[in-house]
């Protein structure tokens, strides 16, 4: 099974930059998308269906904001839209596809970079999300969470850890949360296979950061440890340029 995750930073913009051609070339089984920035009526669902994907969307109430999706060539047993918390579901941050032997979630954790209020909102979401997943994985032991966590876990995951030590996305309390989340029984699948530096999934549009590879690794495929023996590969694709993020791949039996 080949599962991609991609924060597209606006699905309509990404489609205009060749996203559909890229999807066709990936031949993925499942694609988790984040930050759609579109209502369902604004998404060209037929274009994805023409490639053999069923499209499941959980969009934000606010137009041009947030939103997640799952594109799947597999027939799901169930689609869970949201997490049951109206505050977060209004922002379209979680969608889950249940299959016979596992579940795949597309998740978009809030950014706190716009100010103190949103940073507080992010930390509240993280507390909620931890408890939500801790409960969910008892019901669904084989759980794959794919998406934009908006946090770099360790210094290896960010281009300049010293100058960014007080930046949202690399704050000590955020990084500690990722450690706690992994200790709950999850695997950071990219680091399961790759311990090399300079592997990033997001770059600022400023200062030619992407060309200089001054990036952050904030997108993850997290899997419950019971799936460790099923993992066969994990990759990052910085040359895909439909967004300020790039897609990431999980290969799993």
Annotated catalytic residues are: 148
The SS3 assignment for 154 reads: coil
Cα 198 from Cα 124, distance rounded (Å): 30
CA atoms within 13 A on the CB side of 186: 25
Torsion angle, CA of 226/133/137/245, rounded to 10 degrees? Answer: -40
Task: Classify burial at 132, counting beta carbons within 10 Å of its beta carbon; exposed 0-12, middle 13-18, buried 19 or more.
Answer: middle
Cα 99 from Cα 95, distance rounded (Å): 13
Q: How many CB atoms lie within 10 A of CB 100?
A: 9
Q: Are 181 and 147 in contact (CB under 8 A)?
A: no
What are the Cα distances from residue 86, in Å, to 22, 38, 61, 82, 104?
34, 19, 11, 8, 21
Going by DSSP bridges, is the β-strand pair 78-81/68-72 parallel, antiparallel, or unpaired? unpaired
What are the Cα distances from residue 159, in Å, to 14, 203, 235?
25, 10, 18
């Amino acid at each position: 099974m080949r599962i991609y995750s991609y924060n597209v930073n606006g699905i309509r913009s990404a489609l205009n930059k060749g996203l559909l051609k890229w999807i066709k070339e990936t031949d993925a089984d499942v694609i988790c998308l984040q930050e759609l920035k579109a209502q369902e009526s604004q998404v060209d669902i037929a274009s994805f269906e023409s490639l053999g994907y069923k499209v499941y969307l959980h969009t934000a109430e606010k137009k041009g904001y947030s939103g997640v999706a799952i594109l799947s060539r597999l027939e799901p047993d169930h689609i869970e839209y949201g997490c049951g918390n109206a505050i977060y579901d209004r922002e379209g941050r979680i969608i889950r596809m249940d299959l016979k032997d596992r579940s795949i979630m597309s998740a978009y954790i809030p950014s706190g970079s716009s100010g103190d209020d949103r940073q507080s909102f992010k930390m509240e979401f993280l507390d909620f999300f931890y408890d939500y997943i801790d409960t969910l994985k008892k019901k669904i032991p084989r759980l794959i969470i794919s998406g934009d966590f908006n946090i770099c876990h360790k210094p290896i995951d960010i281009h300049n850890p010293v100058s960014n030590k007080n930046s949202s996305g690399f704050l000590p309390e955020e990084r500690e949360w990722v450690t706690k989340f992994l200790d709950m029984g999850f695997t950071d699948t990219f680091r399961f296979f790759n311990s090399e530096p300079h592997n990033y999934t997001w770059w600022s549009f400023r200062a030619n950061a992407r060309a200089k590879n001054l990036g952050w690794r904030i997108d993850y495929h997290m899997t419950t440890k019971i799936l460790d023996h099923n993992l066969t590969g994990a990759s990052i694709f910085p040359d895909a340029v439909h967004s300020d993020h790039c897609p990431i791949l999980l290969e799993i039996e």
